[in-house]
Amino acid sequence: MSGIRGDGRALVVGVLNVTPDSFSDGGRFASQERAVARGLELAAQGADIVDVGGESTRPGAEPVSEGEEQRRVLGVIEALAKRGVSVSVDTVHASTAEAAVEAGARFINDVSGGTYDPEMLRVAARASRNRGARFVIGHWRGIPAPDHRRSTYADVVAEVREALAARVREAVAAGVDPARIVLDPGLGFDKTGDQSWSLLARLDALTELGHPVLVGASRKRMIAEVLAELPRAAARAPESAAHERDLATAVTSALAARAGAWGVRVHDVAGTVQALAVARRFGESSLAGLATAPPEGRTRDRVTLTGLEVHAHHGVFDFERARGQRFLIDAEVAVDLTAAAAGDALERTVHYGELAEAIVAAAERDPVDLIETVAERVADVALGFAGVHSATITVHKPEAPIAAAFADVSVTVVRRAADAGGAGEGAR
């Protein structure tokens, strides 16, 4: 099981370009103050991760020095990380990736998959082993060519799959923790619109590689080409205004999530969060029968994860928000494991490693006052895993600011799949 499958849920990766020549943002967030404010805004809108980039990868973009790239991104990454935002660095440069992880980034997003800078795999290996950072391996055939001269494929799905599998093998051989690898098919990177849509239509071929898959279709030419086929009033001038592609991007992202994408990388976070919520609710309705009692004679099985440690900035008091504190989370999900056990099939059970990562991402998101809200948020995430009937979540706050001596304080919520989108919806 390579991602959160089949229910419309995926992590939302918000794009934050701190470049003067971005094709979609036009340098709006080139100053550190504006960039940090935008990153916090993206997180407040529901971004699970904010992806900070200091060098444009659009076709024809001018390259920048590593020093200039770091000047643009490091202060922004550090400021956002200190505010509890989960940050990714979008870079092909190993030195920038290493400095970004030191500044607080938890993801290295390399569109070249480590092929541009020969030091990148070694940096990613240290970051994954020592800091738990994830390495996003993108597919490309070099710096994007505007004329698509490298977009010739006999079978784009098979060739991208094999290229990504080869990059995974090289990354693991270099020491990258395989559990920290994410794959990105590189839509639009030396791929025509038709080829990019083919990759989305066969996303299962990539998720079968056993790693989470990140999809980044946001505002790309593949979207514009579809809109260009519509009447002008419906398309709303897609070629002249990249942001006019956001509605179509949100639909694409929701469909990708339903197809098994672990995450979607987008410029318009708010619209995408709404689209994913609708897709999730649609999926819950179609699978409502799964939330009923198990067949007579069959015991409801469980996957349990206890003592998951998270450092987050929740709390009523300002000092709790500022310095953060330790939380412990226990999660028990009810799921029928008969098929998984019979066929020794990972895809038929809940991948506890992915469950742990999804819980950590949810718990470390934007600060809230109550651990009740954190528990509701985590329950919502757990119920998003395919086949989960119910979730019992306990959030412990062992360092709570209580004057009297105490061992622990905790809140437990029990939620069923049929309840998802109710009380838990507001917590997101």
Q: Which among 412, 251, 226 has a CA at the least distance from the CA of 328?
A: 412
pLDDT of 45 reads 94
Of the listed 5, 134, 265, 397, which one is catalytic? Answer: 265
pLDDT at residue 115 tops 70: yes
Domain end call among 215, 250, 285:
285
Q: Residue 416 corresponds to which tokens in the numbers above?
A: 């069923």
Query: Which of 285, 300, 332 corresponds to the end of one domain?
Result: 285
The whole-number pLDDT of residue 141 equals 85
Supply the range of the domain harboring residue 110.
11-285
Q: Are residues 115 and 197 in the same domain?
A: yes
Residues 304, 331: contact at Cβ < 8 Å?
Answer: yes
* pLDDT at residue 118 is higher than 60: yes
183 with 273, same domain?
A: yes
The verdict on residue 83 lying in a domain is yes
Buried b / exposed e along 90-127 (16+ C-beta atoms within 10 A): bbbbbbbbbbbbebbbbbbbbbbbbbbbeebbbbbbbb
- Residue 269, helix vs strand vs coil: helix
Whether residue 183 is contained in a domain is answered as yes
> 251 and 326 share a domain?
no
Question: What pLDDT digit, counting tens, does each position of 246-303 carry?
Answer: 999 999 999 999 888 999 999 999 999 999 999 888 876 655 444 444 444 444 688 9
Residue 419 three-state SS = helix
Residue in this structure with the two tokens 């099939």, named with its chain if needed: 345
Residues 332 and 247 in one domain: no
Within a domain: 126: yes
pLDDT score for 9? 65
Question: Could you tell me if residue 1 is inside a domain?
Answer: no
Give the pLDDT score at 59.
Answer: 60
pLDDT of 389 reads 86
Q: Tell me which residue of 20, 134, 119 sits closest to 71, measured CA to CA.
A: 20
Would you place residue 49 in the very low, low, confident or very high pLDDT band (cuts 50, 70, 90)? very high
Higher pLDDT, residue 136 or 148: 136
Top-ranked range on mean pLDDT: pick from 96-100, 314-318, 348-352 = 96-100
Q: What is the mean pLDDT of the chain?
A: 85
Closest-CA residue to 332 (of 350, 309, 357, 312): 350
| Whether residues 269 and 390 fall in one domain | no
On whether both 72 and 200 belong to a single domain, the answer is yes
Strand order across the 302-312 sheet: 302-312, 325-334, 390-396, 410-416
94-108, 127-141, 324-338, 340-354: which has the minimum mean pLDDT?
340-354
Instruction: For 148-203, write each residue's pLDDT tens digit.
Output: 677 889 999 999 999 999 999 999 999 999 989 999 999 989 899 999 999 999 99
The pLDDT value recorded for residue 292 is 47
58 Cβ contact list (under 8 Å, min separation 6): 21, 22, 23, 144
Residues 143 and 50 in one domain: yes
Question: Is 420 a residue whose pLDDT tops 80?
Answer: no
Q: What are phi and psi of 101, to 5 degrees?
A: -65, -40
Determine the pLDDT at residue 48. 92
Q: Which of 108-117, 333-342, 366-375 has the lowest mean pLDDT?
A: 333-342
Q: Is 191 a catalytic residue?
A: no
pLDDT at 406: 87
φ, ψ of residue 50 to 5 degrees: the values are: -110, 120
Q: Which of 9, 220, 245, 377 is catalytic?
A: 220
In-domain check, residue 2: no
Q: Are residues 319 and 392 in the same domain?
A: yes
Read off the pLDDT of each residue in 31-60 and give the average, rounded to a whole number. 88
Same domain, 67 and 175: yes
- Pairwise CA distance, residues 415 & 427, whole Å: 13
Amino acid letter, residue 193: G
Q: What is the dihedral of CA 50, 53, 56, 57, to 10 degrees?
A: -70
Number of H helices, E strands in the chain: 16, 12
Is the same domain home to 223 and 319?
Answer: no
354 in the same domain as 252: no
The pTM assigned to this predicted structure is 0.66
In 3D space, the residue among 256, 246, 270 whose CA is nearest the CA of residue 184 turns out to be 256
Distance (Å, whole) CA 257 – CA 280: 9
pLDDT the model gives residue 275: 94
- Distance (Å, whole) CA 38 – CA 31: 11
Domain boundary among 217, 250, 285: 285
Residue 43 domain-assigned?
yes
Do 341 and 255 belong to one domain?
A: no
> In the prediction, which pLDDT does 4 show?
40
Q: What confidence score (pLDDT) does residue 77 get?
A: 97
Any domain includes 5: no
3-state secondary structure 81-121: HHCCCCEEEECCCHHHHHHHHHHCCCEEEECCCCCCCCCHH
Q: What is the DSSP letter of 19?
A: -
Q: What is the CATH number of the domain that holds 140?
A: 3.20.20.20
Tens-place pLDDT, residues 2-40 = 334 334 468 999 999 998 755 455 556 668 889 999 999
Give 391-412 pLDDT, tens digit per residue: 999 999 999 998 888 888 999 9
Active site residue 220: yes
**CATH label of the domain that carries residue 350:** 3.30.1130.10
CB 310 within 8 A of CB 360: yes
Does residue 153 belong to any structural domain of this protein? yes
What's the token pair of residue 123?
A: 């940096």
Closest CA to 213 of 169, 258, 149: 258
- Total domains in the chain come to 2
